[in-house]
A and B are shown apart, each in its own frame.
Chain A
Amino acid sequence: MTASTLRVPKRRRAKPAVIVGGAARAVGILLVVFLFLVPLVWMLLASLKTNLEVVDPTKLFNFTPTINNYVTVLQEQQFLPYILNSFIVATGATAIALLLGLPAAYAIARYKITNATAFVLLARVIPGVSLLIPWYYIFSSIGLVGTYGVLILTHIFVTMPLIVAIMTSFFEGLPGELEEAAQIDGASKIAAFVRIVLPLSVPGIATATILSFIFSWNNFLFALVLSNQNTRTLPVAISNFTSYASVDWGGLMAASVIITVPVMLIALFSQKYVVSGLTAGATKG
């Protein structure tokens, strides 16, 4: 009785502290929003300015938006083929990696092949440049440098470990009873995999596909060495912007918006999947 009467005023006294804490938290959250949003907004604004307005700090927000930079990038710099190249490579690398990675992940999960985890980690640990030297040697001696095939092949190196990692943990969480029931009904294991497991795994496959596409789309190093004028992907095309004597800032920002907007839209519309895929590796251990 005395204890409870004592506690009541205590709680009342704590209230102002809670309010201060709440205000501090609100300020903190606003600061976080500001820090992550402003650079992106800045990029977008600069892409809508003329080059005279970009270099004028007084024209922060008071300017008339123009889409001229985008027209320049798409027409004069001919970015459309680069967009297509990036799309072809990311789609191809994702499709083949799914084809190879889904069965492998399933086998790893069902037969508990533990070495496979180490093997996936190995693919993450190796510096890309150390693979590029032998790749460059081999592919240039058989005349394949600059083809879509080589770009897709090398991007699978980025996409497949990701798909195997995400799908292994997904399959592990899937109860095995359904496949067993299907097998008792006479279906082979592979039929059970194709007709029962895969349809049930759509959320996991969606996660793996989205992340794989994003990672391939963003990859810079492999295409920097292995693409040519015709197969150049977007990140390589953008990096060439700064090699000119004077930088066309408006155009550069328009190109940056063009390359980031597709992946950001994907992330916005499939937020749940992207988050679960990005955190898959860490929360399991």
Chain B
Amino acid sequence: MQIDKSLPVALAMIAVSLLSSLAAFAAVGAAQQAVIDHYAAAAKAADPGFKSFSADRGHAFFLAKHDANADTPSCSTCHTADPRQPGQTRVGKAIDPMAVSVNPQRFTDLEKIELWFRRNCNTVLGRECTVLEKGDYVTFMASQ
């Protein structure tokens, strides 16, 4: 009887420890994936034909030049053309790299992401970004 009772407990403990080590292994990029999933759901709601985000489109968007603001024509004006490198604000303050591979904290906090998309899209494009642009951008940065 004693064995019957302790066996399931032991099995459960093994299962928990296996699952937690798996979770630790999968944690890289999980937070970013949750953000991408959030934007994908919104994109699907806006356009039933939406398939998936594109890192290539995100890359092109990151480098694209706009004419809303001569001081900040592109995302890459401050972030540089290589998102693995640190950027610089217009008054010389360093900006941590955007690429998730060198800065795993990037794109893990939706509130922070939305704050900076709102402000920087208004600054660079003169309008808010679309869900597709945001999703592509995060997908690109998560791939870098």
Q: Do A and B bind each other?
A: no
